[in-house]
Structure 1
Amino acid sequence: MTWRLKKSEFDKQKGAGNKKAMKKMVSGGKEPGIMAYYNGTPVGWCAVAPRTEFIRLEGSRVLAPIDDQPVWSITCFFITKEFRRKGLSTELLKAVIAYCKKKKVKILEAYPAEPYADNIPAAFAWTGIPSAFLKAGFTETARRSKTRPIMRHYL
């Protein structure tokens, strides 16, 4: 929910309040992302929606729109510990691409974190890392920060 709310609102309802807000969004018919399952158990998630749904992106100087084309944004991942570093984020991205093709999306955009070391802590990888996006066919489109490229996939 961090990208979908103003920082003050996210902080105010941190934890249970944000879970409740996500549940309400899903119950209301919104599709906030793609889930990955292993033997029927959820093991990963990737948030994707029209950029306009992610309020926090609008206030970012680094992640400001690079043009006026409508895009869908990939803002975050969650991968359970035992499935990290096994290529699941790339597989999720492939599923997101297929999902977006069905929705007639033309441009997918993402804002991964550039690792500063080979072993990036999970706390810094929640937006994904560029190598996973490159493997899924994304290209770097802009960079206003040494640690945060803007990557796109044209469908």
Structure 2
Amino acid sequence: MTCPTAPSPITVRPAHAFNDMATMLGPKNPDSSVCWCLSWRLSSRENRELRGIDRADVVRTLCDRERAPGVLAYRDGDVVGWAGIAPRSELYPIAHSRNIPHHDDLEVWSLWCLRVRPGFRKQGITSALIDGAVSYALASGAPAIESYPVDNADARVDQTMAFVGTRRMFERAGFTKAADTTSVSGGIPRILMRLERSGNGIPADQ
């Protein structure tokens, strides 16, 4: 009798590897205009005007900074997931949103995007991404981390809108609901969830 092989461990690292970012977020045709997860960093005007390879160049610059634009998950050396996490002040649409409230005046970090490569879903990668993103933010001095998932209960979430995550995902990671929002994703209301540095059993030096 053959015992099933245990899945390989997942590692999460700051997103400094541009080629791996391109695997997760970039188009097959380099000249094509895709989000590159910049829609949540730029103003509407900047987002409209930035096209094609210029979008990739902005991401390359973000990867070269000391502060990574997020984290990447790896299994057996292959990149398999991405989580966008950054100070909310760097994320123009969230910092200036009329639909997502500012819960308080803390300089919080926002975890706004989760993406897992096709073929690797339902393997624990999303949970590893959330945990890794939280650890990176706390190590970078974040006083609290916010997320803005759908409060979907058991309703199905359209795959194209699943990047925001679900309430249950973040509750498993220790987040709690902090406020309602007037934002929706795929027709489902989103909520503001928070994880405080000094709360939920997280030591200040994690």
Give TM-score, length-normalised by structure 1: 0.89
Kindly state the Cα deviation for residue 150 of structure 1 after the two structures are TM-superposed.
0.3
CA distance in 1, matches of 2:175, 2:93: 22
> 1:151 matched to which residue of 2?
193
Aligned partner letter, 1:147:
P
CA distance in 2, matches of 1:15, 1:114: 34
Aligned partner letter, 2:144:
I
Q: Which structure has more RCO (C-alpha within 8 Å, separation ≥ 6)?
A: 1
CA distance in 1, matches of 2:92, 2:72: 22
Give TM-score, length-normalised by structure 2: 0.69
User: Identity of paired residues, percent?
Assistant: 28
> How many residues of Structure 1 are paired with residues of Structure 2 in the alignment?
155
Structure 1 residue 104 corresponds to structure 2 residue 141: yes
> 2:39 matched to which residue of 1?
2
> 1:114 matched to which residue of 2?
151
Residue ranges of structure 1 left out of the alignment (5+ in a row) = none
CA distance in 2, matches of 1:7, 1:85: 33
Residue ranges of structure 2 left out of the alignment (5+ in a row) = 1-37, 183-187, 198-206
Kindly state the Cα deviation for residue 109 of structure 1 after the two structures are TM-superposed.
0.5
Contact 1:32–1:49 under 8 Å retained in 2: yes
- Bigger mean CA offset, 95-104 vs 69-78: 95-104
> 1:37 matched to which residue of 2?
74
CA distance in 2, matches of 1:11, 1:85: 34
Query: Hey, which of these two has a bigger chunk of helix by percent?
Result: 1
CA distance in 2, matches of 1:16, 1:123: 23
CA distance in 2, matches of 1:8, 1:106: 31
> Aligned-pair RMSD on alpha carbons?
1.9
CA distance in 1, matches of 2:189, 2:124: 21
Structure 1 residue 93 corresponds to structure 2 residue 130: yes
CA distance in 2, matches of 1:10, 1:116: 32
Q: Which runs of 4+ in 1 moved over 4 A?
A: none
